[in-house]
Chains A and B, each alone.
Chain A
Amino acid sequence: MTTTAPATVEEVVARYEPVIGLETHVELGTRTKMFCSCPTEFGAEPNTQVCPVCLGLPGSLPVANKAAIEATIRIGLALNCSIAAWCRFARKNYFYPDMPKDFQISQYDEPLCVDGYLDVEVEGKTVRVGIERVHLEEDTGKTLHIGGATGRIHGATESLVDYNRAGIPLVEIVTKPVAGAGTLAPEVARAYVTELRDIIRSLGVSDVRMEQGSLRCDVNTSLNRPGAEWGTRTETKNVNSLRSVERAVRSEMLRQASVLDAGGRITQETRHFREDTGDTRPGRSKEEATDYRYFPDPDLVPLAPDPVWVEELKATLPEPPRVRRERLREQWGVSEHDMESIVNAGAVELIEATVAAGTSPDAARKWWLGELARRANEAGVELAEVGATPAHVAELARLVDEGKLTDKLARAVLEGVVAGEGSPAEIVAARGLEVVSDTGALTAAVGEAIAANPDVAQKVRDGKVAAAGALVGAVMKATKGQADAKTVRDLILSRLGAA
């Protein structure tokens, strides 16, 4: 029997139904670790943000961070979960040096938040993704393998460990299996992680940056024949961007379908996503049915969130990003596609604040998504960190509206703002960038341009109005671009009797 490996998800879905599930880890942005008061700043020298608790030294005792508990409850509430009336932390025991205690404090059968959902939008359809649980645990340290060629464990003889990250609060969010998405399964996975990221960002509890590892995602995928039981699933790790989430599901669907088509079986295993090729390769396969010997941590007393406290936290929840986006989209009068660009550029808050400062939505969008997005991109920074504030942009837009700056001059002013030279008005004054609106100076420049280009001037007089462009250019050059091109053109045409 010959089988052609399926090339598209449509071919896969013609024979199989996909079921996906997502496990997302979010590093909270608390000032201190989960169970000790060590700082959590990124990029510190190795083992300089450690103490007896997070190093697992004898006699040390962990105490839970109130801010991390609150953040987790707020995430749970934002995901429509129930908050446990009573729950405990558990020890997950394993033998690996990324935790100095030889166990990780996590939650096992008593998560803090359970049974919620998140609605996501895919191709105009709303898909409800069930949330199984949201629990709190601690992050692990970073290991560096040496002695091998590539820094990977293969061929390594030793590992070097930095425990600065060990103990940073980590929230794990697990979906229920998502069935019935068909060909849209890859897009649903991506839309879910995107929406989750936006919600968590709106809560202000994490910077949720996938490229920096503060949001990490594992993707489970399985296929089954229609009507049959769910198939064996694989877990794909190392999925480090939103685009990769989608690609990982797609490539696993294709791979599993070709295995099943050929009469093979899917092995339950962990696979690693490869960013360069967009496919997955097997990772750990053996895993003698991992035996973590979970048990309640005796050093940490149970959590019993007071319903009044939970209600207070509920009152702090911001408007859900999806609702807010739609409200702003209507207010600003932009298309869904344009709104998507605004969201992807991280410009929602910036444009909102600029509009609030009196700028029209169109102008605010133009400056943030145009010149400033380009500069942020060049500098490799987030738009919000580009160096310009909504107040700057509002002031700039006002100067343009008042005719004091042309677009071209405004871009030069923005360059100064981004370089930290001050506010737009200060830069206009310091660099002498204001539009030349002094009619006397302009009239003189127009006269000189006409005198210097008699042939062109004659063509314009003869009715070839398009030829005036060369004269406009000459005047703009003479005024160092500080004149308004339209005013100059009007002046030239009236002077040559062609207006």
Chain B
Amino acid sequence: MAAISREEVAHLARLARLAVNETELDTFAGQLDVILQAVARVGEVAAADIPPTSHSIPLTNILRDDVVQPGLTQQEALSGAPDAQDGRFRVPRILDEEA
């Protein structure tokens, strides 16, 4: 059984605002399935006493002090933006997300 369905790939593409056509859907569903199946093999060797891992390094509590450091200037911040106006990033209106 496939680890990911064609519909799930279409749903994820929609959430990520990626335009994916029918042929691509078949391709990506197949490729993602191979990846997921490969990763799933880890679960086969992990015994019940091995908890799921979200981080590869066994560290906790990496914190920094509340001290201001210089960041970017407005010009630097906007330098990579496709468009800007009045010191702000200018982006197309996002439809139907909020009313």
By a beta-carbon cutoff of 8 Å, the part of chain A in contact with chain B is 30-32, 36-39, 45-52, 54-55, 57, 63-69, 86, 88, 93, 95-97, 100, 144-147, 153-154, 156-163, 283-286, 291, 293, 296, 298, 300-306
Given known A37-B69, A304-B61, contact A45–B74 (CB-CB < 8 A): yes
Q: A37-B69, A65-B64 are in contact. List 13 more A-B contacts (CB 8 A).
A: A31-B66, A32-B66, A46-B86, A47-B89, A48-B74, A48-B77, A52-B72, A66-B65, A68-B66, A97-B94, A153-B94, A158-B92, A160-B86
Q: In residues 70-99 of chain B, which contact A (Cβ within 8 Å)?
A: 71-74, 77-78, 80, 85-94, 96-99
With a cutoff of 8 Å between Cβ atoms, the chain A residues found around residue B72 in the complex are: 50-52, 55
The answer, among B15, B55, B78, for a CB contact under 8 Å with A296, is B55
With a cutoff of 8 Å between Cβ atoms, the chain B residues found around residue A31 in the complex are: 66-68
Bound state CA distance, A447 and B99, in angstroms? Answer: 78
Given known A95-B94, A157-B93, A291-B15, contact A47–B66 (CB-CB < 8 A): no
Decide if B89 touches A97 in the complex (CB within 8 Å): yes
Of listed B66, B67, B74, residue having the most chain A CB within 10 A = B66
Per-residue contact bits, chain B 8-41, to A (CB 8 Å; 1 contact, 0 not): 0001000111000000000000000000000000
With a cutoff of 8 Å between Cβ atoms, the chain A residues found around residue B91 in the complex are: 97, 158-161
With a cutoff of 8 Å between Cβ atoms, the chain B residues found around residue A38 in the complex are: 68-69, 71
Decide if B90 touches A66 in the complex (CB within 8 Å): no
- In the assembled complex, B59 has its CB within 8 A of some CB on chain A: yes
B76 to chain A, nearest CB (A): 9
The answer, among A51, A66, A285, for a CB contact under 8 Å with B63, is A66
Decide if B73 touches A86 in the complex (CB within 8 Å): no
Decide if B66 touches A66 in the complex (CB within 8 Å): yes
With a cutoff of 8 Å between Cβ atoms, the chain A residues found around residue B86 in the complex are: 46, 160
Which residue of the partner chain A has the closest CB to B59?
A: A301
Of listed B11, B89, B91, residue having the most chain A CB within 10 A = B89
Of listed B65, B78, B99, residue having the most chain A CB within 10 A = B99
Bound state CA distance, A326 and B86, in angstroms? Answer: 51
Bound state CA distance, A71 and B39, in angstroms? Answer: 39
Bound state CA distance, A54 and B68, in angstroms? Answer: 14
A104 to chain B, nearest CB (A): 14
Decide if A163 touches B89 in the complex (CB within 8 Å): yes
By a beta-carbon cutoff of 8 Å, the part of chain B in contact with chain A is 11, 15-17, 54-55, 57, 59-69, 71-74, 77-78, 80, 85-94, 96-99
Decide if A63 touches B74 in the complex (CB within 8 Å): no
A303 to chain B, nearest CB (A): 6
Bound state CA distance, A302 and B61, in angstroms? Answer: 6
Which residue of the partner chain A has the closest CB to B93?
A: A156
Decide if B67 touches A32 in the complex (CB within 8 Å): yes
Decide if B77 touches A86 in the complex (CB within 8 Å): no
Decide if A64 touches B55 in the complex (CB within 8 Å): no
The answer, among A50, A63, A95, A96, for a CB contact under 8 Å with B62, is A63
Bound state CA distance, A269 and B77, in angstroms? Answer: 37
Bound state CA distance, A50 and B84, in angstroms? Answer: 15
With a cutoff of 8 Å between Cβ atoms, the chain A residues found around residue B74 in the complex are: 45-48
Bound state CA distance, A157 and B92, in angstroms? Answer: 7
Decide if A55 touches B77 in the complex (CB within 8 Å): yes
Bound state CA distance, A146 and B65, in angstroms? Answer: 39
With a cutoff of 8 Å between Cβ atoms, the chain B residues found around residue A55 in the complex are: 72, 77
B68 to chain A, nearest CB (A): 5
B12 to chain A, nearest CB (A): 8
Decide if B71 touches A159 in the complex (CB within 8 Å): no
The answer, among B11, B16, B66, B78, for a CB contact under 8 Å with A30, is B66
B54 to chain A, nearest CB (A): 4
Which residue of the partner chain A has the closest CB to B56?
A: A298
Decide if A86 touches B60 in the complex (CB within 8 Å): yes
With a cutoff of 8 Å between Cβ atoms, the chain A residues found around residue B96 in the complex are: 286
A314 to chain B, nearest CB (A): 18
B33 to chain A, nearest CB (A): 19
Decide if A37 touches B64 in the complex (CB within 8 Å): yes
Which residue of the partner chain A has the closest CB to B55?
A: A301
With a cutoff of 8 Å between Cβ atoms, the chain B residues found around residue A286 in the complex are: 96
Decide if A161 touches B88 in the complex (CB within 8 Å): yes
With a cutoff of 8 Å between Cβ atoms, the chain A residues found around residue B97 in the complex are: 95-96
The answer, among A30, A65, A69, A95, for a CB contact under 8 Å with B15, is A95
Between A and B, 11 residue pairs with Cβ closer than 8 Å are A37-B68, A45-B74, A46-B87, A65-B63, A95-B97, A145-B93, A159-B93, A283-B99, A296-B54, A304-B61, A306-B61
